[in-house]
């Protein structure tokens, strides 16, 4: 019989899945739900040693003899402090000692409660990882608990061996032991390039016949070798690549307008085009919220996420991570493709590319969106485009650009600070013309970027000035949009960049209507003109927001039924027939 506490049930299930069975237990009460649950399962082998200091060194002897991870378990309070000497020895001897410390609830710390000390931080400098589990009250807690346990158990033997602590809050040791069977928990595995051939053959077999989405985040343009590896993988498997401007991933199976495509999908559509496997590479993509919402709507029991990164980190944004491949994504693509002989039908990819191609670019009156469309269509080939965060990066995803244009954006933290400084730094180290698309708040926040002796003549800036942060009006707050938001949240202002940029040596141009935008962009993108050049375009914030929302509403009305009636309809009907989908 097992404890009813969900965090403990998950812990025991994953200990079994990761084959960690041997534990040295010292007496106490806070860890009763853990220890009695272990006693109920013959998988676990328990040793009893009263003194925690001796118990932890006893465990080191078991590790030395077996070569396998061994755990120690104690109650809360100073019992945990007695492990410090052995944990230090394990750290420098590189032994995989798993330290399970029962604890009281974190809200009770320093509140004159019995047997409660700062045990969640006492091993920070002598362990490879400290994992503080939550009390599990809902599905989000359960996902977090599962991820933390998997990550901690994997870390015992990751990049060398060493001790790891899992600190477990136990609200009450007086438990109900009525659970008859441990839950089947999601197990996350971590693999690297050294896996044997039969492992990679198994990976290729698991992907065969599956619907695969490759999520490609921000990164430099693909090298020739990377393009070759990606080509080989896409030829062998039925996959589509979801990307954005900053991915710099130009490929026949890439949906580079993933942001509006995901906006267009309804709940019903999601179920019909749900992937079986998501392979995520790189990080920081502009369609992150939309893709998470898509996965949430269409998630099914067999859906898996494979994350491929040299970092080896356990990253689980879609809540379905099962495999972490610690290697270059393109080495992964090459390795798996080599293990599959035959080519694949590309029915699933055709569905996505047909939907994406059916979504028209915005056709809107003079506004921020209108300006960006004209600008992106006028960019010269082989130039560089930097996008500032906020509305600029989102609107840029609505239009196509020449694939020779390299695109960058500070998406690591999605903050507005430093966007212009980053562009100036990039431009100082290249002979290419470097364009920056930026909004007013972001520009004025980082205006000292232009107070820079490295400022080059190859710098071109298009500044969208609508007197505030229009993106703050995008959520559904109609009652606030015209009243409270402009005062503080969207920082209404009436400032121009003219004086500052002219003082810094820029050729300054302004636009207040469609004709002036056309003329200004023609000058801005004319490479025979000597820079630096800035075009400041003035629009109305609330009108910009209205137009943006109307476009969102329009593309969200597009379902697969709409597409079936479009020019892509014949292709998708054929695809549905092959996939056996019912409409």
Residues 18 and 99 in one domain: yes
Does the structure show a pLDDT above 90 at 363? yes
pLDDT in tens, 3-24: 999 999 999 999 999 999 999 9
In a domain, 1, yes or no: no
Residues 176 and 199 in one domain: no
In a domain, 569, yes or no: no
In a domain, 455, yes or no: yes
How far apart (Å, rounded) are the C-alpha atoms in residues 329 and 282? 8
Average pLDDT over residues 39-45: 97
How far apart (Å, rounded) are the C-alpha atoms in residues 465 and 164? 52
How far apart (Å, rounded) are the C-alpha atoms in residues 367 and 36? 67
Range of the domain at 506: 368-556
Please state, as a whole number, how many other Cβ atoms lie within 10 Å of the Cβ of residue 509: 18
Does the structure show a pLDDT above 60 at 478? no
For residue 344, the model assigns a pLDDT of 83
Q: Number of structural domains, the chain?
A: 3
Residues 107 and 194 in one domain: no
Strand ranges across the sheet with 189-192: 189-192, 321-326, 304-308, 277-281, 212-216, 239-242, 254-255
Mean pLDDT of the chain: 90
3-state SS string for 345-392: CCHHHHHHHHHHHHCCCCCCCCCHHHHHHHHHHHCCCCCEEEECCCHH
How far apart (Å, rounded) are the C-alpha atoms in residues 557 and 264? 7
**More confident of the two residues 300 and 143:** 143
Here the CATH number for the domain that contains residue 305 is 3.40.50.1220
For residue 446, the model assigns a pLDDT of 92
Domain edge (last residue) among 123, 154, 185: 185
Tokens for 235, please give them.
């030829």
In a domain, 578, yes or no: no
Q: Answer yes or no: are the C-beta atoms of 275 and 570 closer than 8 Å.
A: no
Angle between helices 224-236 and 329-338 (to 10 degrees): 40
- Is the link from the previous residue into 92 a cis peptide, with omega within 30 of 0? no
In a domain, 254, yes or no: yes
pLDDT in tens, 539-580: 988 888 888 888 888 877 765 556 555 545 555 555 555 555
pLDDT in tens, 100-116: 999 999 999 999 888 89
For residue 582, the model assigns a pLDDT of 46
Task: Choose the most confident range, by mean pLDDT, from 391-395, 434-438, 445-449, 555-559.
Answer: 434-438
Does the structure show a pLDDT above 50 at 329? yes
Residues 15 and 140 in one domain: yes
**Which of 51, 60, 152 has the alpha carbon at shortest distance from 97?**
60
Residues 178 and 195 in one domain: no
Does the structure show a pLDDT above 80 at 181? yes
pLDDT in tens, 493-552: 678 999 999 999 999 999 999 999 999 999 999 999 998 999 999 998 888 888 888 888
pLDDT interval class at 271 (50, 70, 90):
confident
Domain edge (last residue) among 358, 381, 399: 358
Residues 433 and 479 in one domain: yes
Residues 524 and 480 in one domain: yes
For residue 467, the model assigns a pLDDT of 66
Q: Answer yes or no: are the C-beta atoms of 468 and 486 closer than 8 Å.
A: yes
The two counts, helices (H) then strands (E), for the chain are 23, 19
Residues 534 and 489 in one domain: yes
In a domain, 175, yes or no: yes
Tokens for 27, please give them.
């007496």
Average pLDDT over residues 165-181: 90
Count of alpha carbons within 13 angstroms of residue 454, beta-carbon side = 12
**More confident of the two residues 269 and 419:** 419
Burial class (CB in 10 A: 0-12, 13-18, 19+), 292: middle
Tokens for 253, please give them.
């199976």
For residue 286, the model assigns a pLDDT of 86
Here the CATH number for the domain that contains residue 548 is 3.40.50.970
For residue 583, the model assigns a pLDDT of 41
**95-104, 147-156, 461-470: range with lowest mean pLDDT:** 461-470
For residue 551, the model assigns a pLDDT of 86
In a domain, 571, yes or no: no
**32-36, 240-244, 547-551: range with lowest mean pLDDT:** 547-551
């Amino acid at each position: 019989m097992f404890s009813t506490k969900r965090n403990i049930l998950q812990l025991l299930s994953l200990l079994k899945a990761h084959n960690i069975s041997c534990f040295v237990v010292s007496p106490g009460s806070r860890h009763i739900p853990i220890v009695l649950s272990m006693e109920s399962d013959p998988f676990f082998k328990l040793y009893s040693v009263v003194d925690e200091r001796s118990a932890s060194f006893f465990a080191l002897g078991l590790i030395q003899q077996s070569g396998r991870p061994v755990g120690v378990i104690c109650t809360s309070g100073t019992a945990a402090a007695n492990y410090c000497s052995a944990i230090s020895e394990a750290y420098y001897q590189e032994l995989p000692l798993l330290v399970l410390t029962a604890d009281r609830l974190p809200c009770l710390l320093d509140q004159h409660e019995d047997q409660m000390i700062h045990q969640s931080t006492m091993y920070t400098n002598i362990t490879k990882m400290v994992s503080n589990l939550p009390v599990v009250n809902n599905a989000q807690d359960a996902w977090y608990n599962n991820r933390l346990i998997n990550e901690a158990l994997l870390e015992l033997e990751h990049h060398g061996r060493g001790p790891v602590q899992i600190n477990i809050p136990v609200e009450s040791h007086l438990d109900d032991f009525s659970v008859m069977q441990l839950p089947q928990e999601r197990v996350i595995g971590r693999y690297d390039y050294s896996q044997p051939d039969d492992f990679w053959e198994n990976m290729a077999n698991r992907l065969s016949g599956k619907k695969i989405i490759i999520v490609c985040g921000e990164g430099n343009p693909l090298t020739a070798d990377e393009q070759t590896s990606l080509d080989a993988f896409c030829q062998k498997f039925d996959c589509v690549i979801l990307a954005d401007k900053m991915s710099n991933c130009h490929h026949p199976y890439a949906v580079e307008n993933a942001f509006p495509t995901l906006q267009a999908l309804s709940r019903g559509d999601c179920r019909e085009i749900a992937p079986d496997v998501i392979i995520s590479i790189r990080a920081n993509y502009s369609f992150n919220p939309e893709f998470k919402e898509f996965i949430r709507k269409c998630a099914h029991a067999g859906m898996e996420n494979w994350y491929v990164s040299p970092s080896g980190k356990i990253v689980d944004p879609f809540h379905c991570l099962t495999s972490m491949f610690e290697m270059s994504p393109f080495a992964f693509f090459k390795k798996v493709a080599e293990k599959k002989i035959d080519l694949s039908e590309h029915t699933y990819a055709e569905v996505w590319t047909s939907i994406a191609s059916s979504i028209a670019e915005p056709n809107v009156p003079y506004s921020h969106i209108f300006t960006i469309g004209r600008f992106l269509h006028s960019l010269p080939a082989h130039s560089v485009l930097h996008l500032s965060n906020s509305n600029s990066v989102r609107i840029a995803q609505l239009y196509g650009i020449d694939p020779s244009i390299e695109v960058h954006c500070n998406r690591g933290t999605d903050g507005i600070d430093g966007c212009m400084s980053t562009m100036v730094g990039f431009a100082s180290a290249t002979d290419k013309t470097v364009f920056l698309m930026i909004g007013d708040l972001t520009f004025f926040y980082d205006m000292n970027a232009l107070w820079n002796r490295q400022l080059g003549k190859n710098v071109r800036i298009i500044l969208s000035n609508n007197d505030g942060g229009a993106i703050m009006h995008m959520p559904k707050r109609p009652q606030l949009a015209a009243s409270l938001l402009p005062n503080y949240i969207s920082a209404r202002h009436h400032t121009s960049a003219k004086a500052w940029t002219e003082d810094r040596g820029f050729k300054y141009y302004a636009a207040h209507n469609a004709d002036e935008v056309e003329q200004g962009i023609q000058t801005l993108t004319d490479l025979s003109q000597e820079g630096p050049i800035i075009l400041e375009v003035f629009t109305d914030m609330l009108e910009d927001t209205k137009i943006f929302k109307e476009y969102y509403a329009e593309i969200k009305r597009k379902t697969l039924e709409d597409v079936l009636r479009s020019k892509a309809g014949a292709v998708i009907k054929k695809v549905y027939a092959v996939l056996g989908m019912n409409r």
